[in-house]
Amino acid sequence: MSNIDNANRTEIERRIDILEDDIADINPALLNILLQDKTTKKNILWCTKDYEAYGPEYDEHEQIKANLITKEFYNVIQPRAAKAKDIQERRIKNRAEVFTPSWICNVQNNQVDEAWFGKSNVFNTPQGTGWKVNKRIIKFPKNKDWSSYVDSKRLEITCGEAPYLVSRYDTTTGMLIPVFERIGLFDRKMRVVNENCKDDESWLVWSLRAVKSIYGYEFQGDSILIARENFLYDYIDYYKERFKSEPPIKLLKSVANIIAWNIWQMDGLKYVVPYSCHPIKEDYQMSLFDIGKEAEDHFLPCPGCEKNNIYLHNGIYCRIFDWTNLNKSIPFLDVFKEDAHNG
């Protein structure tokens, strides 16, 4: 850990809060990658008023910059479980921020797998508010194989700290979950990679394909950063289990780059970058009745916002990366259109 005074941190913080300084200490470029917004080619925005007391650079419309969350500001961003109660309550009120306990994520992720495998409880068996890991190697249905499972795409909408995708800790209690007991959609793919990739080279290839198959979006910038950090640290945990060493920086930068694409900041009601819709200046012809009045600018609202029509926004439509077919970025709206078209 960096030269931070650990004594002033609560027990939950020490357990689950990834310090931005720790990431910057591994390599400063890594934190900057995790802060990127791939659509705007700038940084993600704060998109919450929670930090505005720190100064104008923490305004909800401003970008999150590394210098605002490291060194003396190391403790500014914390996971929800470590946030003060009054802040938690404000976030519930403003953005319906209530996180799902891991055991519920597990039950629902089991249902996703049940649909894919055609049988229940493939990875574990739920038990009350916990689960028992099935120790036997995962078997695949006749018409499918392990590689198609790793490649199948998964999306957590309004992902918060992404508890359905990676489960390093229970987002509601802050309890750490041991690597091979994790229940996230990415964790399940990594189990399959571990069980099927015998040599290191194929493990590296397929672990990256697993990362590429996992998507999530969220409005609030701090949650986006935490989700991305959780994802990166989850990957590091699997790498360390496999190789008994720290992952090379070049690999971590590749992983961080994929994560910065796949966990993105978006207003999920509009499919655009938050706050990017804007009023448009109206071409206003003065009439007889306006004679003698001072010329005034007239503005019309964004047509998409006014008509509540997802296709008409004048903001910046978010782009996601298609890693498998097109190998290029596409507007998320196109994926939505395709899904709507296919019913």
Ligand X SMILES: C[S@@+](CC[C@H](N)C(=O)[O-])C[C@H]1O[C@@H](n2cnc3c(N)ncnc32)[C@H](O)[C@@H]1O
Per-residue 3-state assignment (H helix, E strand, C coil) for 170-215: CCCCCCECCHHHCCCHHHHHHHHHHHHCCCHHHHHHHHHHHHHCEE
Using the rule CB under 6 A, is 165 a contact of ligand X?
no
With residues binned 3-state (H G I as helix, E B as strand, rest as coil), the percentages for the chain, rounded to 5, are 45, 10, 40
Using the rule CB under 6 A, is 269 a contact of ligand X?
yes
Whether 35 contacts 43, CB under 8 Å: yes
Using the rule CB under 6 A, is 109 a contact of ligand X?
no
Q: Which residues contact 272 (CB under 8 A, 6 or more apart)?
A: 266, 313, 315, 316, 317, 318
**Residue with tokens 């196109």, as numbered in its chain:** 334
- Other C-beta atoms within 10 Å of 327: how many? 8
Using the rule CB under 6 A, is 158 a contact of ligand X?
yes
Nearest CB to ligand X, comparing residues 31 and 47: 47
**Residue 18 in tokens:** 């990834």
Using the rule CB under 6 A, is 133 a contact of ligand X?
no
Residues 67-106 close enough to bind ligand X by CB under 6 A: 95-100
Nearest CB to ligand X, comparing residues 58 and 217: 217
Span near ligand X by CB under 6 A; candidates 55-63, 82-90, 142-150, 156-164: 156-164
Using the rule CB under 6 A, is 163 a contact of ligand X?
yes
**Nearest approach, Cβ of residue 312 and ligand X (Å):** 17
Nearest CB to ligand X, comparing residues 144 and 307: 307
Q: Which of 17, 22, 50, 218 binds ligand X (CB under 6 A)?
A: 218
**Residue 82 in tokens:** 């470590």
With b meaning 16 or more CB within 10 Å and e meaning fewer, what string describes 162-171? bbbbbbbbbb
Q: Which of 167, 207, 213, 223 binds ligand X (CB under 6 A)?
A: 223
Using the rule CB under 6 A, is 220 a contact of ligand X?
yes
Nearest CB to ligand X, comparing residues 98 and 249: 98
Rg (CA), the chain: 22
**Nearest approach, Cβ of residue 217 and ligand X (Å):** 6
Using the rule CB under 6 A, is 276 a contact of ligand X?
no
Residues 22-61 close enough to bind ligand X by CB under 6 A: none
Q: How many residues touch ligand X (CB under 6 A)?
A: 19
Cα separation, 23 vs 225, in Å, equals 12
Cβ-proximal residue to ligand X, closest one: 160
**Residue with tokens 């403790």, as numbered in its chain:** 75
Query: At residue 174, what is the residue type?
Result: G
Q: Which of 160, 184, 221, 315 binds ligand X (CB under 6 A)?
A: 160
Whether 21 contacts 71, CB under 8 Å: yes
Query: Could you give phi then psi for residue 238, rounded to 5 degrees?
Result: -70, -40
The residues that touch ligand X, with contacts defined as CB under 6 A, are 95-100, 156, 158-160, 163, 171, 218-220, 223, 267-269
